Amino acid sequence: MKLPLLAGLTACSVLLAIAAPATAGRAINYPVTIASGVAYGSMLSARRSADTVQYIGCSLNSPDATHTVRYAQCDAVNAQGRRLICDTTDAGMIATVQSIGAYHYILFRVDAQGRCTAVNTWISSDTLP
């Protein structure tokens, strides 16, 4: 009677060990940072921040019925509430904004007129949840 119970418990233990998710590797917190004319950070880090202020993201805008993207806008707010925002009609930067996914790191640069001069994004194993 004890042998089948022991065998069953052993089998369950092995299955649980195999089914447990692996949580190894580097995971880095990239809080939203705003410096002179540049903002950067991870969307996941902003979302998981202890404050309710941090935000970073970009949007595509199609202001008419053609649904053609006319411009992109990037926006960031750091933990202290400092905000940086820019707009662009540059096709290359619009393509970069179109590639942004849920766990991407975003960096954008802004000139004195509020135009984006660069939009960069990437994803790597350390930006994933």
What are the pLDDT digits (tens) for 37-91?
999 999 999 999 999 999 999 999 988 888 888 999 999 999 999 999 999 999 9
Least-confidence region, from 6-10, 31-35, 57-61, 102-106: 6-10
Indicate the pTM of the whole model. 0.77
Between the alpha carbon of residue 30 and those of residues 40, 48, 127, 128, the distances in Å are 8, 10, 8, 11
| Mean pLDDT along residues 6-17 | 46
Strand pairing category for 83-88 and 38-42: unpaired
- How many C-alpha atoms does 103 have within 13 Å on its Cβ side? 10
Tokens of residue 107, six digits: 């960096």
Determine the Cα–Cα distance for residues 24 and 99; give it in Å rounded to an integer.
Answer: 27
Q: What's residue 4's pLDDT?
A: 56
Q: What's residue 24's pLDDT?
A: 62
Query: Would you give the end-to-end CA distance of the chain in angstroms?
Result: 45
